[in-house]
Chains A and B, each alone.
With several copies, the nearest count.
Chain A
Amino acid sequence: MAQIKDTAEYSGIDQMIISASRQIKDTDAVYVGVGFPLEASILAKNLQAPNCTVILENGIVRASLFRLPWTTDTMESQLFAEQLTGLFYVNSLAQAGHLALGVMGAGNIDRYGNVNDTAVGDYNKPIHRWMGSGGANDVMSFCRKTIIIMEQNKRRFPEKVDFVTCPGYFDGEPEAREKVGLPPNTGPVAVITDLATYTFEDGEMTLESVHAGCGITLEKVKAALGWDIKVAKDLMDTEPPTEEEMRTYREKIVAARRVMPPRPMPSIPTPSR
């Protein structure tokens, strides 16, 4: 796990979660994956978006604040939810276009925002395997906007993924999503890493800002990408965390991080993404 060494009082990971949390609006209903996305959404609820509704795939629809759980489905994340239902219901909400935003992680992501959570190399003889889509394909197919949060290195950002688990903009052709039948006006809108933030211009990942405040340079960002990235004309330094953001982040996220409780069986459901 690449941990950013920096001289600032926050790391690239901190910046990543805080930058992602800023994307969540108070009026949003947000489909949230486990891990960093869950952290970003809980942070948003403690800051600018107290009224946003958090949707967790196993059937949790939650407008009220809750403590960061160690995974998405826990006694605590269920307790006092506004609605408990199932996977079918929350994905129907998404498919019908009612979810403004999806926030998820990814295994690999490529130039046109296609996500690979399945296999590197040949599907039947993979060099590397992840656990598969989980809910990722659902999030990125259905949500009006999808934000991907992930740690960045060259291996995880190839020019073209070996397996498309979640279609982004395919080869960047206009209307490519609509042509295969994906809902119109959906797709990835931002990738936020521990080095930088990206948007999509005409379907192509475009460097928007560099986490200069924790010592990241444009060169470092480019070295951790598998292609020659398009750079926004108005490339900026990433807006550093405010004092309030950092204080809330430390209190509500860092202090609340818990490891998965130890359990005696081997066959425990692995938390989904």
Chain B
Amino acid sequence: MSKVMTMQEAISKNVESGDLLFVGGSQHGTPSAAIAEIVRQRINHLTVISILANTTLLIGEGLVDKVLTGYAMTDEKRSYALQRAKAVHNVSVTFKEYSHFGVALALFAGYMGVPFLPTKGHIGSDMMKYNENIQSIDCPFTGGQIGVIRAVVPDVGILHVQRCDAEGNTQKWGTLGVDHEGINSSRKVIITTEKIVDSDVIRRDPNRTIIPGFRVNAVVEQPFGAYPVHLVGCYNDGPSGFGAMRDQQSWENYVKEAIHGVKDWNEYLENLKKLNGDDFLENIKIKNPLKSEPVITGI
């Protein structure tokens, strides 16, 4: 059964104010277009769990109440996004800090359907003092102390990938960060993809599927959906303008140009080409594509 819909539908049907949201694509293939649509729809009071991924924009637009993270600027003095959240939207963001692996473990516990996972990390650190989701217990087998990280089950997860089929059978390659555990822990699942492929492509390489169709609520075809973040096999990091959006003027310009001044991501991409030349997106595409050696199946 096809799950294909527009980005507008995918977000409005599946993301609600107050949701606990997982954002995939830490460092690789961030779902930038989907994030932009959440901003466009001004869905607020979100709690976000992610590794390094696009939370700054959501924060600065006042849509985030709480962040579960291993790495973020939590100090208003040093973050324009936090200042803006407070000044423009009257939102104070709270943070629960883990080490990166703690975020992975919380999501992994959610994916497995257990209330926590044990770890030999985090223990003895002061993170435990300020994050009640990290505890230490007596190990039932060894007698020593063992850390435990509480499960996180996001209401909705978003992942951008290279290919999936209309039913939502989803394949991503390259580094996966916390994508596997994050998307599999999520109750509702939105997949945005560079390309919707025939199911036959998926089914000739089923080991690459990271979540099966029956777990997926929405499939959106969105080329350059991770731009300006790199996506293996597709495009490199986007050029120009880094360091902008650190003040009110540049931030508001960006939000207007990329989100509220356009109806969708495709119009934004078209505007990028108008501004920067028709070859703007072409230029960041990979230049020397390499193919994997096919694996064989059959009877």
Contacts and interface: CB of A to CB of B under 8 A. Distances in A.
Note whether A and B form a binding pair.
yes
Interface in A154-171: 163-167, 170
Contacts of B60: 266
B175 to A, nearest CB: 4
Nearest to B151: A96
Interface string A227-253: 000000000000000000000000000
Interface string B55-72: 111101000000001111
Contacts of B71: 131-134, 270, 272
A94 B113 CA distance: 8
A166 B176 CA distance: 25
Given A141-B122, A181-B136, A135 B169 contact: no
A146 interface: no
Interface in A56-76: 57-61, 63-64, 71-76
Interface of A is mostly: loop
A53 B214 contact: yes
B119 A64 contact: no
A135 B103 CA distance: 10
B99 A179 contact: no
A164 B299 CA distance: 40
Contact of A164 (B121, B126, B206, B237): B126
Nearest to B206: A84
Interface stretch (A5-13, A207-215, A256-264): A256-264
Given A86-B180, A142-B121, A265 B57 contact: yes
Given A63-B167, A83-B169, A265-B32, A96 B206 contact: no
Interface in B150-205: 153, 167, 169, 173-181, 184-185, 199, 202-204
A58 B241 contact: no
B262 interface: no
A261 B174 CA distance: 20
B175 A86 contact: yes
B68 to A, nearest CB: 12
A78 interface: yes
Interface string B33-76: 00100000000000000011111111010000000011111110
Contact of B245 (A86, A92, A135, A265): A265
Select the residue from B73, B77, B237 with max chain A CB neighbours within 10 A: B237
Contacts of B249: none
B144 interface: yes
A182 B127 CA distance: 15
Given A132-B72, A269-B26, A272-B52, A82 B203 contact: yes
A137 B99 contact: yes
Interface string A34-61: 0000000000000000010100011111
B112 A263 contact: no
A63 B212 contact: yes
**Size class of the A contact interface (CB-based, 8 Å):** 35 or more
Contacts of A92: 111-113, 184
Contacts of B74: 129, 132
Contacts, number: 301
A95 interface: yes
A84 B243 CA distance: 30
A185 interface: no
A86 B101 contact: no
A266 B173 CA distance: 25
B237 A88 contact: no
A135 B146 CA distance: 19
Select the residue from B26, B55, B121 with max chain A CB neighbours within 10 A: B121
Contacts of A126: 75
Select the residue from A59, A95, A166, A261 with max chain B CB neighbours within 10 A: A59
Contact of A263 (B72, B75, B237): B237
Interface in A114-140: 118, 123, 126, 129, 131-138
Contacts of A2: none
A132 B147 contact: no
A131 B145 CA distance: 28
B86 to A, nearest CB: 15
Contacts of A181: 120, 123-124, 136, 139, 144-147
Interface of B: 1, 26-28, 30, 32, 35, 51-58, 60, 69-75, 77-78, 80-81, 97-102, 104-105, 108, 110-114, 119-127, 129-130, 136, 139, 144-147, 153, 167, 169, 173-181, 184-185, 199, 202-204, 206-207, 209, 212-215, 228-230, 232, 236-246, 250-251, 254, 258, 286, 290, 297-299
Interface of A: 29, 51, 53, 57-61, 63-64, 71-76, 78-88, 91-98, 118, 123, 126, 129, 131-138, 141-142, 163-167, 170, 176-183, 260-272
Given A79-B298, A163-B126, 10 more contacts: A84-B209, A92-B113, A133-B99, A137-B99, A137-B127, A181-B120, A261-B242, A262-B239, A263-B242, A265-B228
24 contacts: A74-B237, A76-B299, A78-B174, A78-B206, A79-B290, A81-B206, A82-B212, A83-B169, A86-B177, A86-B178, A87-B26, A91-B121, A95-B114, A95-B119, A131-B73, A132-B97, A133-B70, A133-B127, A137-B125, A142-B120, A177-B124, A180-B136, A266-B245, A267-B35
